[in-house]
Amino acid sequence: MKGMIYKVPIKHKEETPTQALAKDIQNNLSVIKDDIVASSKENVINGEELDDFIYHHFLNRLDPVEYCENVLRHHLPESRQKLHENQTALIRAVCNPKLKQVAGMMSRQSGKTESISSFCGFLIDNYPQMRVGVFTPRLQQAEVSIGRLSTFFQMNEDRLNNKIVKLTKDRIELSNKSYVTAVSASDQSNIEGLTFDVIVLDEAQKVSDYTFSERIVPMGN
């Protein structure tokens, strides 16, 4: 009929998870920028000195050792917050995105479990949708590392970047959809079908070559 206009509804494409994540990051950066601009004249943000704010909210999130010492180990006495040299070397190596494989030889009681718990905590709290698997010859051994990290997270929950969603003896999940889980590396275990971004193989000398090369390595993303 003359003079009538028909509008065809436009179908909008659904936002992909990657686009949604990018938008969230952009929104967060905008909020932080506004806070800094609004508070720059007073050098105070939310009652915190500007240099302290920058350190606590940015610098110790970028450096894995700073994060481990000042976030995960904040509840410890000051004399125990600092990591040993062998631990910091391992943590920096594992958290370096340029390194695809890292091998460490550490004796008993040298801080190996503490190191594993620390870099796993850094990875899942600072990277969204990060999947970390800790493999040991016996599941109970991997659960020790998960338990240590559980203590770190629970004692310092107010200092984390994300909320704790799930916490069991063999798995920790955060609100950014990252998680770390304990997995058995025994030849009899049923572990096929899992996928991880980071694979941690503890007590590697006790894991058979077949399980390592044919069952664990293919899980790497």
Position 127 in a domain: yes
Position 52 in a domain: no
Residue with tokens 């915190």: 48
Q: Do 42 and 35 touch, CB atoms closer than 8 A?
A: no
Select from 87, 91, 92, 123 the least CA-distant residue to 106: 87
Number of domains within the chain? 1
The domain that holds 213 is classified in CATH as 3.40.50.300
pLDDT digits (tens, 9 = 90+) for 56-93: 555 545 789 989 999 999 999 988 999 999 999 999 99
Residue with tokens 């704010």: 53
DSSP 41: T
Using a pLDDT cut of 70, give the percent of the chain over it.
Answer: 72
